[in-house]
Amino acid sequence: MPIPVIDIFAGPGGLGEGFSSRLKKDDERIFKIKLSIEMDEFAHRTLELRAFVREFPHKKAPDDYYDYLRGNLSREELFKNHHEEAERAKNEAWCAELGKEPDAEVDRRIRTALGSKPDKWVLIGGPPCQAYSLLGRWRQKQQDEKYKKDERHFLYRQYLRILAVHQPPVFVMENVKGLLSTTVNNVRIFDKIREDLKHPLASTGLGSKDDLEYNFYPLIPTQGETTGEYEPEDFIIRAEEFGIPQARHRLIILGVRSDWEPKPSLLEANQDSVFIEDVLKGLPRLRSGLSKEEDSSKNWQQAIRELSSATWLKNPKVSLELKRRLILETSKVGRRLKRGNLFLNEGTKPEKLASWFNDPKLHGVCNHETRSHIRADLHRYFFAAVFAKEFKRSPTLEDFPEELLPLHKNIVSAMKESKFNDRFRVQVAGRPSTTVVSHISKDGHYYIHYDPTQCRSLTVREAARLQTFPDNYFFEGPRTEQYHQVGNAVPPRLAWQIAEIVAELLE
């Protein structure tokens, strides 16, 4: 039987997808998600749909699932056609807010999902991380009282309570690395969390330290391997070192119950780096939309090509080489590009990780449609993408001609203080992308496509590729919510590698 997994604070299911994708030689799954808990309604719909897909053998979803992705079948019709699988998926994915639901109901659901108490099972997930992120802390500390009262500081106690009551042999907890430097009332919260998780019964008042204890292990080589004394920084995983096309640095704790003897192995660094273009090439080329004016291919092309005669080309900041490159790239901008859709009947495999992304039954690409941008932002995007192509780095605000800068009061302070002065950030070809975070749902300024002739921000599918979600993973809800889900997720392929370590530990 597959090893049961309980996934809390599940988001759209990145951790769960990684564990579910770890297969035996006969393509049977090693792990089975028995219960996933998520409070966001759109992320829950995504979880429920993916739970439905996993009711079928690996990459053998029914044909009408693909009809649903193409918009030829409703979700209700799909679930009606496969009633038993749909019911099991609905039982697996629970839309609930931990801390608000009665503990008794949470415990009942976990016990029901696990069945007769198994010797081997895994708890995975991470509490919402906005309060721990550097950006979130900077914003909230403008209002200190609100920051101190933010309940997200202590949502880990829900994780802690479930550990204390259900006592899995292994757990995996993920969060942002900003957690390492977060303090509340002058106490470093990571030290408090680590002590609490080590003795969950004592920390919750349900028992003593002698009743239950967990040992923590980093997943990468550290100097503490011989002594067993680990520094907080030892728990930071740099995803780009493990074949993920994204420089995503996250805190991941592997906890093992002290009565479980084997010591876990470590992640193996990937010698072959995966760059952004390695996974985005093959996706249909698209143009952005034009907002606050008529949106058409002709107008969009004209908006870009007018840059070849812009007055700011004479600005001293624009070198002769950059000017030539700008004019050359404007001449390549064509009219035939479309804006994409929830499903497109085109697209090819990426250059790397093709077997991971590809589904031979998909015959297209989903969640691949562009945003609209005002003309002035298109000009900034185009300049930034051309600059990055010429100099192999994304420009800072100081690199922009003054005529292109937004008329915002905080632009001047950003340039003076060098705070957020990469306001328009290109994802540079030839390297992994920067971290995909939930802010991608707000605007595209930090996620400009490296190809100036497409002159746009990344689509949901492109962000999902950088996160290593398989191409047949469909994100539900409005596009803004799709971005939010992708940005909050753990890269499934990184979770897949962690799952191998957990499988070895338990088997």
Length of the chain: 507
Please check whether residues 178 and 133 belong to one and the same domain.
Answer: yes
Q: Is 283 helix (H, G, I), strand (E, B) or coil?
A: coil
Q: Quick one: the chain helix, strand, coil %, rounded to 5?
A: 45, 15, 40
Q: Which two tokens stand for residue 212?
A: 């239950």
Please check whether residues 151 and 220 belong to one and the same domain.
Answer: yes
Strand pairing of 122-125 and 170-176?
parallel
- Between CA 34 and CA 31 the distance in angstroms is 9
Task: Name beta bridge partners: 3.
Answer: 31
Report pLDDT for 239. 97
State CA 335 to chain mean position distance: 33
Please check whether residues 176 and 44 belong to one and the same domain.
Answer: yes
- Between CA 90 and CA 78 the distance in angstroms is 13
What is 42-80 written as a DSSP string? HHHHHHHHHHHHTTSSTT---HHHHHHHTTSS-HHHHHH
What is 258-280 written as a DSSP string? TT--PPP--PPPPSS---HHHHH
- Between CA 464 and CA 458 the distance in angstroms is 10
Q: Which two tokens stand for residue 459?
A: 């689509």
CATH code, domain carrying 24: 3.40.50.150
Pick from 321, 310, 331, 315: nearest CA to 387:
321
Report pLDDT for 35. 98
Report pLDDT for 417. 53
Please check whether residues 190 and 332 belong to one and the same domain.
Answer: no
Is the whole-model pTM more than 0.95? Answer: no
Report pLDDT for 105. 97
The domain of 255 spans: 3-274+489-506
Please check whether residues 307 and 256 belong to one and the same domain.
Answer: no
Count of CB atoms within 10 A of residue 364's CB? 18
Please check whether residues 234 and 296 belong to one and the same domain.
Answer: no
Please check whether residues 363 and 481 belong to one and the same domain.
Answer: yes
Residue 187 phi, psi dihedral angles, 5° rounding: -110, 130
Rounded to 10 deg, the angle between the 320-331 and 297-305 helix axes is: 160
Count of CB atoms within 10 A of residue 372's CB? 17
The Cβ-side half-sphere exposure at 96, using a 13 Å CA radius, reads 22
Cα–Cα separations (whole angstroms), residue 245 to 75, 279, 433, 478, 483: 32, 8, 6, 26, 17
Tokens 């921000």 locate to 457
Pick from 386, 387, 430, 393: nearest CA to 280:
430
Q: Which two tokens stand for residue 443?
A: 């605007």
Q: For residues 276 and 429, is the Cβ–Cβ distance under 8 A?
A: yes
Q: For residues 441 and 284, is the Cβ–Cβ distance under 8 A?
A: no
Q: For residues 367 and 459, is the Cβ–Cβ distance under 8 A?
A: yes
Count of CB atoms within 10 A of residue 150's CB? 18
The structural domain count of the chain equals 2
Q: Is 206 helix (H, G, I), strand (E, B) or coil?
A: coil
- Between CA 66 and CA 54 the distance in angstroms is 14
Report pLDDT for 141. 54
Scored b (16 or more CB within 10 A) or e, 131-149 reads bbbeebbeebeeeeeebee
Please check whether residues 219 and 305 belong to one and the same domain.
Answer: no
Please check whether residues 482 and 496 belong to one and the same domain.
Answer: no
- Residues of the chain with confidence (pLDDT) below 70: 129-154, 184, 408-421
Please check whether residues 94 and 161 belong to one and the same domain.
Answer: yes
> Which ranges of 306-422 would DSSP assign to H, the alpha helix?
320-331, 354-357, 375-391, 409-417
Please check whether residues 183 and 38 belong to one and the same domain.
Answer: yes
Please check whether residues 122 and 51 belong to one and the same domain.
Answer: yes
